[in-house]
Amino acid sequence: MVKSIHIEKLNYVYQSGTPFSHRALTDVSLDIEAGSYTAIIGHTGSGKSTLLQHLNGLLKPTSGNLTVAGNHITSETKNKELNELRHHVGFVFQFPEAQLFEETVLKDIAFAPKNFGKSDEEAEQIAAKMATLVGLPDSVLDSSPFELSGGQMRRVAIAGVLAMEPQILVLDEPTAGLDPKGRLEMMEMFEQLHQEQHLTIILVTHQMNDVANYADHVVVMENGGLIADSTPQQVFSDPDWLHKHHLGLPQTTAFAAKLAQQGVPFDTLPLTEKQLAEKLAELMPQSGGELHG
Protein backbone atom coordinates (compact mmCIF):
# COMPACT_ATOMS: atom_id res chain seq x y z
CA MET A 1 0.00 0.00 0.00
CA VAL A 2 1.03 3.58 -0.60
CA LYS A 3 2.01 5.43 2.50
CA SER A 4 0.19 8.69 2.81
CA ILE A 5 1.83 9.68 6.05
CA HIS A 6 5.10 8.45 7.41
CA ILE A 7 6.21 9.67 10.82
CA GLU A 8 9.61 8.82 12.22
CA LYS A 9 10.79 9.35 15.78
CA LEU A 10 8.83 12.55 16.11
CA ASN A 11 9.47 14.60 19.23
CA TYR A 12 7.84 17.87 20.10
CA VAL A 13 8.57 20.19 22.99
CA TYR A 14 6.38 23.24 23.54
CA GLN A 15 8.25 26.49 24.19
CA SER A 16 11.49 24.67 23.89
CA GLY A 17 14.35 26.44 25.65
CA THR A 18 12.17 28.60 27.89
CA PRO A 19 11.36 28.12 31.56
CA PHE A 20 7.87 26.94 30.44
CA SER A 21 9.21 24.15 28.23
CA HIS A 22 6.94 21.16 28.16
CA ARG A 23 7.32 17.89 26.25
CA ALA A 24 4.20 16.89 24.32
CA LEU A 25 5.34 14.10 21.99
CA THR A 26 7.99 11.47 22.59
CA ASP A 27 9.43 9.32 19.81
CA VAL A 28 6.25 8.90 17.85
CA SER A 29 6.64 6.66 14.79
CA LEU A 30 3.59 5.95 12.72
CA ASP A 31 2.57 5.01 9.18
CA ILE A 32 -0.80 5.80 7.69
CA GLU A 33 -1.77 4.25 4.39
CA ALA A 34 -3.33 6.25 1.59
CA GLY A 35 -7.09 5.86 1.57
CA SER A 36 -7.27 4.49 5.10
CA TYR A 37 -9.53 5.68 7.88
CA THR A 38 -7.45 6.16 11.01
CA ALA A 39 -8.89 6.95 14.41
CA ILE A 40 -6.62 8.49 17.03
CA ILE A 41 -7.89 8.01 20.55
CA GLY A 42 -6.48 8.74 23.97
CA HIS A 43 -7.09 10.59 27.17
CA THR A 44 -7.31 14.41 27.15
CA GLY A 45 -3.79 15.82 27.08
CA SER A 46 -2.23 12.70 25.60
CA GLY A 47 -0.77 14.63 22.66
CA LYS A 48 -3.41 13.94 19.99
CA SER A 49 -3.87 17.55 18.94
CA THR A 50 -0.13 18.19 18.94
CA LEU A 51 0.38 15.22 16.64
CA LEU A 52 -2.39 16.42 14.33
CA GLN A 53 -0.93 19.88 14.02
CA HIS A 54 2.25 18.35 12.65
CA LEU A 55 0.32 16.83 9.79
CA ASN A 56 -0.17 20.14 8.04
CA GLY A 57 2.86 21.94 9.32
CA LEU A 58 1.21 24.12 11.95
CA LEU A 59 3.88 22.71 14.21
CA LYS A 60 7.30 21.59 13.14
CA PRO A 61 8.98 18.67 14.91
CA THR A 62 11.54 19.52 17.57
CA SER A 63 13.37 16.42 16.36
CA GLY A 64 12.54 13.56 14.04
CA ASN A 65 10.80 13.92 10.71
CA LEU A 66 7.63 13.16 8.85
CA THR A 67 6.49 12.83 5.26
CA VAL A 68 2.96 13.87 4.46
CA ALA A 69 1.54 13.58 0.94
CA GLY A 70 5.06 13.64 -0.52
CA ASN A 71 6.25 16.61 1.54
CA HIS A 72 9.14 16.00 3.85
CA ILE A 73 9.13 17.96 7.09
CA THR A 74 11.88 18.30 9.65
CA SER A 75 12.66 20.93 12.26
CA GLU A 76 14.47 22.91 9.56
CA THR A 77 11.66 23.05 7.01
CA LYS A 78 10.95 26.62 5.93
CA ASN A 79 7.49 28.08 6.44
CA LYS A 80 7.21 28.85 2.72
CA GLU A 81 7.38 25.17 1.81
CA LEU A 82 4.56 24.35 4.18
CA ASN A 83 1.95 26.09 2.08
CA GLU A 84 2.16 23.36 -0.53
CA LEU A 85 1.61 20.79 2.20
CA ARG A 86 -1.43 22.59 3.61
CA HIS A 87 -3.04 22.43 0.23
CA HIS A 88 -3.15 18.66 0.47
CA VAL A 89 -4.22 18.37 4.07
CA GLY A 90 -7.70 19.56 5.01
CA PHE A 91 -7.93 20.26 8.71
CA VAL A 92 -11.27 20.47 10.49
CA PHE A 93 -10.57 21.88 13.94
CA GLN A 94 -12.66 21.39 17.02
CA PHE A 95 -15.66 23.72 16.81
CA PRO A 96 -14.66 24.83 13.31
CA GLU A 97 -17.53 27.32 13.17
CA ALA A 98 -15.21 29.71 15.02
CA GLN A 99 -13.25 30.24 11.79
CA LEU A 100 -16.12 31.76 9.74
CA PHE A 101 -15.66 35.39 8.84
CA GLU A 102 -16.81 36.28 5.31
CA GLU A 103 -20.00 38.20 4.51
CA THR A 104 -21.70 35.28 2.82
CA VAL A 105 -21.63 31.54 3.21
CA LEU A 106 -20.52 31.06 -0.39
CA LYS A 107 -17.59 33.46 -0.03
CA ASP A 108 -16.50 31.79 3.16
CA ILE A 109 -16.43 28.35 1.57
CA ALA A 110 -14.58 29.77 -1.44
CA PHE A 111 -11.94 31.36 0.78
CA ALA A 112 -9.54 28.41 0.93
CA PRO A 113 -9.52 27.51 -2.78
CA LYS A 114 -8.88 31.19 -3.56
CA ASN A 115 -5.92 31.17 -1.18
CA PHE A 116 -4.53 28.17 -2.99
CA GLY A 117 -4.63 29.90 -6.31
CA LYS A 118 -8.04 29.13 -7.83
CA SER A 119 -9.77 31.92 -9.75
CA ASP A 120 -12.82 33.55 -8.20
CA GLU A 121 -15.28 31.77 -10.50
CA GLU A 122 -13.65 28.39 -10.06
CA ALA A 123 -13.56 28.85 -6.30
CA GLU A 124 -17.24 29.76 -6.18
CA GLN A 125 -18.18 26.80 -8.34
CA ILE A 126 -16.33 24.47 -5.99
CA ALA A 127 -17.94 26.24 -3.05
CA ALA A 128 -21.44 25.70 -4.39
CA LYS A 129 -20.66 22.03 -5.01
CA MET A 130 -19.28 21.57 -1.49
CA ALA A 131 -22.28 23.32 0.05
CA THR A 132 -24.54 20.72 -1.57
CA LEU A 133 -22.21 17.93 -0.51
CA VAL A 134 -22.43 18.88 3.19
CA GLY A 135 -26.17 19.28 2.92
CA LEU A 136 -26.59 23.04 2.99
CA PRO A 137 -29.71 24.30 1.20
CA ASP A 138 -29.07 26.71 -1.70
CA SER A 139 -31.15 29.34 0.08
CA VAL A 140 -28.46 30.00 2.70
CA LEU A 141 -25.57 30.51 0.28
CA ASP A 142 -26.04 34.26 0.09
CA SER A 143 -26.80 34.86 3.74
CA SER A 144 -24.26 35.73 6.39
CA PRO A 145 -22.72 32.73 8.13
CA PHE A 146 -23.47 34.40 11.45
CA GLU A 147 -27.23 34.15 10.87
CA LEU A 148 -27.16 30.35 10.74
CA SER A 149 -27.77 27.79 13.44
CA GLY A 150 -24.81 26.17 15.16
CA GLY A 151 -25.18 22.94 13.17
CA GLN A 152 -25.37 24.79 9.86
CA MET A 153 -22.35 26.92 10.75
CA ARG A 154 -20.44 23.71 11.39
CA ARG A 155 -21.41 22.47 7.92
CA VAL A 156 -20.28 25.72 6.31
CA ALA A 157 -16.93 25.45 8.08
CA ILE A 158 -16.48 21.83 7.00
CA ALA A 159 -17.47 22.69 3.43
CA GLY A 160 -14.82 25.42 3.57
CA VAL A 161 -12.19 22.80 4.36
CA LEU A 162 -13.44 20.28 1.79
CA ALA A 163 -13.36 23.02 -0.83
CA MET A 164 -9.55 22.81 -0.72
CA GLU A 165 -10.03 19.35 -2.26
CA PRO A 166 -7.51 17.76 0.09
CA GLN A 167 -6.04 14.26 -0.20
CA ILE A 168 -5.91 13.91 3.54
CA LEU A 169 -8.72 15.03 5.79
CA VAL A 170 -7.91 15.57 9.45
CA LEU A 171 -10.93 15.74 11.75
CA ASP A 172 -10.54 16.86 15.35
CA GLU A 173 -13.75 15.82 17.10
CA PRO A 174 -15.93 17.00 14.23
CA THR A 175 -19.19 16.10 15.93
CA ALA A 176 -18.57 17.62 19.37
CA GLY A 177 -21.67 19.45 20.56
CA LEU A 178 -23.99 18.23 17.79
CA ASP A 179 -27.32 16.47 18.37
CA PRO A 180 -27.50 12.72 17.63
CA LYS A 181 -29.05 13.25 14.20
CA GLY A 182 -26.49 15.85 13.19
CA ARG A 183 -23.73 13.62 14.47
CA LEU A 184 -24.85 10.62 12.44
CA GLU A 185 -25.32 12.71 9.28
CA MET A 186 -21.89 14.25 9.67
CA MET A 187 -20.16 10.92 10.23
CA GLU A 188 -22.00 9.34 7.29
CA MET A 189 -20.91 12.25 5.11
CA PHE A 190 -17.25 11.68 5.98
CA GLU A 191 -17.68 7.95 5.37
CA GLN A 192 -19.14 8.71 1.95
CA LEU A 193 -16.18 10.96 1.10
CA HIS A 194 -13.86 8.22 2.25
CA GLN A 195 -15.58 5.61 0.09
CA GLU A 196 -16.14 7.68 -3.03
CA GLN A 197 -13.16 9.98 -3.22
CA HIS A 198 -10.71 7.68 -1.41
CA LEU A 199 -9.72 10.40 1.00
CA THR A 200 -7.30 9.44 3.74
CA ILE A 201 -9.19 10.30 6.90
CA ILE A 202 -7.67 10.87 10.30
CA LEU A 203 -10.23 11.22 13.04
CA VAL A 204 -9.62 12.24 16.62
CA THR A 205 -12.55 11.36 18.79
CA HIS A 206 -13.74 10.26 22.20
CA GLN A 207 -16.70 8.45 20.60
CA MET A 208 -15.72 4.79 20.60
CA ASN A 209 -18.86 3.95 18.63
CA ASP A 210 -17.60 6.07 15.74
CA VAL A 211 -14.23 4.37 15.93
CA ALA A 212 -15.88 0.95 15.74
CA ASN A 213 -18.26 1.95 12.96
CA TYR A 214 -15.92 3.73 10.59
CA ALA A 215 -12.21 3.36 11.29
CA ASP A 216 -9.99 0.62 9.89
CA HIS A 217 -6.90 1.68 11.84
CA VAL A 218 -6.70 2.78 15.46
CA VAL A 219 -3.88 4.62 17.18
CA VAL A 220 -3.98 4.94 20.95
CA MET A 221 -1.96 7.68 22.60
CA GLU A 222 -0.91 8.23 26.18
CA ASN A 223 1.43 10.82 27.68
CA GLY A 224 2.72 11.91 24.30
CA GLY A 225 3.54 8.44 23.01
CA LEU A 226 1.78 5.70 21.06
CA ILE A 227 0.67 2.76 23.16
CA ALA A 228 -1.20 0.92 20.42
CA ASP A 229 -1.24 1.06 16.63
CA SER A 230 -3.52 -1.58 15.25
CA THR A 231 -7.00 -2.46 14.00
CA PRO A 232 -10.16 -1.59 15.97
CA GLN A 233 -10.79 -5.32 16.35
CA GLN A 234 -7.43 -5.75 18.08
CA VAL A 235 -7.62 -2.66 20.26
CA PHE A 236 -11.13 -3.35 21.50
CA SER A 237 -10.45 -7.04 22.15
CA ASP A 238 -9.02 -6.35 25.59
CA PRO A 239 -11.49 -4.41 27.79
CA ASP A 240 -9.19 -4.58 30.83
CA TRP A 241 -6.30 -2.99 28.95
CA LEU A 242 -8.57 -0.20 27.71
CA HIS A 243 -9.91 0.37 31.19
CA LYS A 244 -6.39 0.63 32.52
CA HIS A 245 -5.67 3.39 30.00
CA HIS A 246 -8.88 5.29 30.79
CA LEU A 247 -10.61 4.40 27.56
CA GLY A 248 -13.99 2.85 26.98
CA LEU A 249 -15.44 0.23 24.67
CA PRO A 250 -17.97 0.83 21.92
CA GLN A 251 -21.46 0.16 23.29
CA THR A 252 -21.89 -2.92 21.15
CA THR A 253 -18.58 -4.39 22.23
CA ALA A 254 -19.30 -3.64 25.87
CA PHE A 255 -22.63 -5.43 25.57
CA ALA A 256 -21.00 -8.38 23.79
CA ALA A 257 -18.33 -8.56 26.49
CA LYS A 258 -21.08 -8.92 29.08
CA LEU A 259 -22.73 -11.66 27.01
CA ALA A 260 -19.35 -13.37 26.76
CA GLN A 261 -19.10 -13.32 30.55
CA GLN A 262 -22.45 -15.10 30.68
CA GLY A 263 -21.04 -17.81 28.47
CA VAL A 264 -21.96 -16.77 24.94
CA PRO A 265 -19.04 -18.07 22.87
CA PHE A 266 -17.72 -15.21 20.70
CA ASP A 267 -14.50 -15.96 18.82
CA THR A 268 -13.86 -12.21 18.56
CA LEU A 269 -15.83 -9.40 20.15
CA PRO A 270 -18.12 -7.72 17.59
CA LEU A 271 -17.64 -3.97 17.03
CA THR A 272 -20.81 -2.88 15.29
CA GLU A 273 -24.46 -3.67 15.80
CA LYS A 274 -24.50 -5.44 12.47
CA GLN A 275 -21.60 -7.70 13.41
CA LEU A 276 -23.23 -8.47 16.74
CA ALA A 277 -26.54 -9.32 15.10
CA GLU A 278 -24.82 -11.62 12.61
CA LYS A 279 -22.81 -13.38 15.32
CA LEU A 280 -25.92 -13.89 17.41
CA ALA A 281 -27.84 -15.15 14.41
CA GLU A 282 -25.05 -17.65 13.76
CA LEU A 283 -25.18 -18.83 17.34
CA MET A 284 -28.97 -19.05 17.46
CA PRO A 285 -29.63 -22.32 15.64
CA GLN A 286 -26.92 -24.03 17.67
CA SER A 287 -28.32 -23.01 21.02
CA GLY A 288 -31.81 -23.72 19.70
CA GLY A 289 -30.63 -27.13 18.63
CA GLU A 290 -29.12 -27.82 22.02
CA LEU A 291 -32.37 -26.94 23.73
CA HIS A 292 -34.33 -29.33 21.63
CA GLY A 293 -31.65 -31.98 21.51
Partner 1 sequence: MDKMLLGRYINGESLIHHLDPRGKLFLSFYFIVIVFLCNNWQTYVLMAAMVMLFVKLSDISLGFFIKGVRPLIWLILFTVLLQIFFSSGGEVFWHWGPFTITDQGLINGVFVFCRFVLIIFMSTLLTLTTTPIEISDGLESLLKPLTKIKVPVYEIALMLSIALRFVPTLMDETTKIMNAQRARGVNFGEGNLLKQIKSVIPLLIPLFVSSFNRAEDLATAMEARGYHGGEGRTKYRKQEWRKNDTLAVILFIALTVTLIFLRN
Residues in the site for partner 1, rule: CB under 8 A? 14-15, 18-20, 53, 56, 58, 79, 83, 86-87, 89-91, 93, 96, 98-101, 111-112, 115-116, 146, 160-161, 164
Pick between residue 146 and residue 177 the one whose CB is nearest to partner 1. Answer: 146
**Smallest gap from residue 111 Cβ to partner 1 (A):** 6
**Smallest gap from residue 287 Cβ to partner 1 (A):** 53
CA Rg value for the chain: 21
Could you tell me if 157 and 91 are in contact, meaning their C-beta atoms sit under 8 angstroms apart?
Answer: no
Pick between residue 101 and residue 142 the one whose CB is nearest to partner 1. Answer: 101
Pick between residue 30 and residue 92 the one whose CB is nearest to partner 1. Answer: 92
**Smallest gap from residue 93 Cβ to partner 1 (A):** 5
DSSP-derived 3-state class of residue 34: coil
Tell me how crowded residue 5 is: count the other CB atoms within 10 A of its CB. 22
Pick between residue 112 and residue 126 the one whose CB is nearest to partner 1. Answer: 112
**Smallest gap from residue 112 Cβ to partner 1 (A):** 4
**Smallest gap from residue 264 Cβ to partner 1 (A):** 46
244-252 — which CB contacts under 8 Å span 24+ positions? 245/42, 245/43, 245/220, 246/43, 247/41, 247/42, 247/43, 247/208, 247/220, 248/208, 249/208, 250/208, 250/209, 250/211, 250/212, 250/213, 251/208, 251/209, 252/209, 252/212, 252/276
Pick between residue 75 and residue 230 the one whose CB is nearest to partner 1. Answer: 75
